[in-house]
Each structure stands twice: as structure tokens, then as C-alpha cells.
Amino acid sequence: MVHKIHVNLNIGSYDISIGFNILKNFFISTVLLKNTNNIIITNHTIKNIIIKNKYYSVNENTKNIPLFSIPDGESYKNLKEVENIISFLLKKPYGRDVTLIAIGGGVVGDITGFVASIYQRGVNFFQIPTTLLAQVDASIGGKTGVNHVLGKNMIGSFWQPKGVLIDIDFLSTLPKEHLIAGMAEIVKYAIIFDYKFFVWLEKNYFKILQLQKETLLFCIKKCCELKVKVVESDEKESGLRFFLNLGHSFAHAIETHTGYGAWLHGEAVSVGLVMSAYLSVQLNILHKDYLYRIKTILYKIGLPVVGPKNMLPQDYLKCMLRDKKVLSGRIRLILPISIGQVELISSIDNNKILQVVKQFQERKY
């Protein structure tokens, strides 16, 4: 069975298709039959999976499609790789009728979408996410971009895909740490929007990590539905979509300071969620029992709940002041006020943030 979720936008509506072993038929009907000039953008790991025929439906349907592969990892989500992809397209040359097909995790999806948005002023692209994090979050909503040495995702655009194909069977190819990292974004959705979903995760996170099919399907579909509602109401992050940044100011600071790829994005988000909850408790916004439950579920999943040992409070603040969410030198943060509800707080003094980060690090979480 294939579940479809429609993303209803003023311009560029599309479908998200979710299921098991769905690529063979859906890839042909959704992508290949409608587009004759396709290019696959992927990474070296997925390329090897395709070439070595570990995932037969992908191999069968893509063997005659030109493929461009980028190295694995967040450190390669940069302008140099963007230029490499564009050079590949121009040397053929490919025109505005080209369709880019992103097969991979968040890095591949972000960089492919960004290239699609700028190549000859915009071409079509499809998302085929292969990681849990990409399936529940990164592939949906049209945020594209690359990193700058001074800040994560500082160069980018909003450019919606023509469709998203989520084949859950891809998750069996993931290293365990990447599966665990993807759970951070799932927990994030529950903290922001849905207390009952959080309770369900407390009871079922182990089944997700064991790749139990029905549990996985429910979880991924739930996250997609939550994100679609947000994107439909606020496509370009002027209001409600801002809430999806819960924990990300701290997380991006960790990723930028340690060097892209040293921490997986989900690992940094996990710490960011705990730090946001801790800050909220210190500001008398969140009850400490909720902080305990947030920290506990992330810890049980296997995610980190404390940041890098050698990262000082000043390091966090320096990186956070370059964040896209900063206005007029004021750091704006999404903080939980309970599980299932968050608020945008823009009145926190920078010295208070420094103080709370210092206190957080001194507490032995």
C-alpha cells in the first residue's frame, strides 16, 4: 500500500508518496514517464548501493540515467560542490528541460534542490530521501541550501520539488548511528505540536529503531503530515514554520564550531532540544518535569544530551549571533512551554543566554 499526502501550495503543489518497495512502479510513473531528460544526484555510498544492486528496484530503473555523485558528509554541502554539479550539467549541455533527481539524505536533497533553483534560473527536481532524517523532515517543504564556513545553511533558497518518493525500505541500508540521529527530528515534532505523539514515541521508539514496518510507517507519515500543514500555511517561514527551528540555534552552533560532519545533524539537534528545554526551565517557562522527559527519551534512543566538552558558552553565542534567525543583533529562540507547545522568545538578553549555557554545562547531564 502507498500512502499519499498532498502538499497544497499556491504555486508548485505536489504529492509525497510513502510506502515499502514503492520505487519500481512509482519511480517510472511519477518521474521517468513524465521527464525524458533526467539526471540523478547522489552520494558515493548510495551510488555503490545502486551499482552493486543491493537495492534492485533502484538499479533497474536508473541504470540508463546519467548520475553525478558527491562525496558523503555535511562538509561537502558547499558552493564548491554546487559548482561541480553545474559544470557537469553545462558540459553536456543540459537545458531548462532537465530534471534533477536527488537520491540520498539531507545533504544530497539540500544541494540538489539548491542547484535546481539556480541552474538556468530554475529547473525541476524530485526528492527520493534515503535516511530517516530526510524522510521525516529535510525532503519536505522546499528549503534548499549549502553551508558557509561561518554558518550552516547560510546560502540557499526556497524551491519546491515536483514530488517526494519515500521508500521506507531504504532505511535498512543505514548505519545505526544515522538511524538514531534521525530520531531527533521526530522527537522535535512531538515537542512542538503533539503531546500524544510524544507519549506514543516514549512507548514505541525502540520499535522504530528495530525498523518494525507498521510502526515506522505510522511515525514517518505522522511527521510528514505535521510538516505539510506547517508548509501549507507558511511556505517561506514568516510565521508558524519558524517553530520548526526548535533546538536548531544551539545545534547549528555546535555543527559550525566543531566543523561540519564532526557531529551528525540529528546529534546536534538532540543537544539543542535539551538546551532549549533547560533554558526554558531557567526562564520559568517550562516545568522541569518536561525537561526530564525530553532528556530521558533522547538519552534512551541513544542520542547525546550534552554538547562538546571543549565548546565554551562564548562559542555558542558567537555562532548563534550569525544565525539566520537573528534580527537587529537579538537572538530569537523557539522554546517549549510544555510538551506539544512552543513559543518564539525574542527578548532574552545575550548575557542571560551565556549564563544559562554555562549553568547547563556545569550540570552533569
Distance CA 314, CA 354 (A): 7
Whether residue 324 is annotated as binding a ligand: the answer is: no
Whether residue 125 is annotated as binding a ligand: the answer is: no
Whether residue 131 is annotated as binding a ligand: the answer is: yes
Peptide bond into 93 cis (omega under 30): yes
Check if the beta carbon of residue 138 is closer than 8 Å to that of residue 110: yes
Whether residue 352 is annotated as binding a ligand: the answer is: no
Whether residue 248 is annotated as binding a ligand: the answer is: yes
The greatest distance separating any two alpha carbons of the chain, rounded to the nearest whole angstrom, comes to 60
Task: Provide CATH 3.40.50.1970 ranges for the chain.
Answer: 3-173
The pLDDT value given to residue 65: 85
Q: Where are the alpha helices (DSSP H) in 259-325?
A: 265-282, 288-301, 313-320
Cell 505540536 identifies what position? 193
Whether residue 109 is annotated as binding a ligand: the answer is: yes
The pLDDT value given to residue 242: 92
CATH hierarchy code of domain 193-362: 1.20.1090.10
What does the DSSP assignment read for 213-235? HHHHHHHHHHHHHHHHHHHHH-T
The pLDDT value given to residue 53: 62
The pLDDT value given to residue 363: 75
73 SS3 class? coil
State the catalytic residues.
121, 143, 185, 227, 237, 241, 245, 248, 252, 265
Whether residue 75 is annotated as binding a ligand: the answer is: yes
Kindly report, residue by residue over 6-42, the tens digit of the pLDDT: 999 999 899 999 999 887 666 666 666 566 789 999 9
Task: Provide CATH 1.20.1090.10 ranges for the chain.
Answer: 193-362
Distance CA 137, CA 247 (A): 14
Distance CA 58, CA 60 (A): 6
What does the DSSP assignment read for 232-270? HH-TTSSSGGGGGGTTHHHHHHHHHHH-TTSS-HHHHHH
CATH hierarchy code of domain 3-173: 3.40.50.1970
Q: Which pTM was predicted?
A: 0.94
CA atoms within 13 A on the CB side of 218: 11
The pLDDT value given to residue 52: 66
Backbone angles phi, psi at 11, to 5 degrees: -130, 130
The pLDDT value given to residue 323: 80
Give the chain's residues under pLDDT 50: none
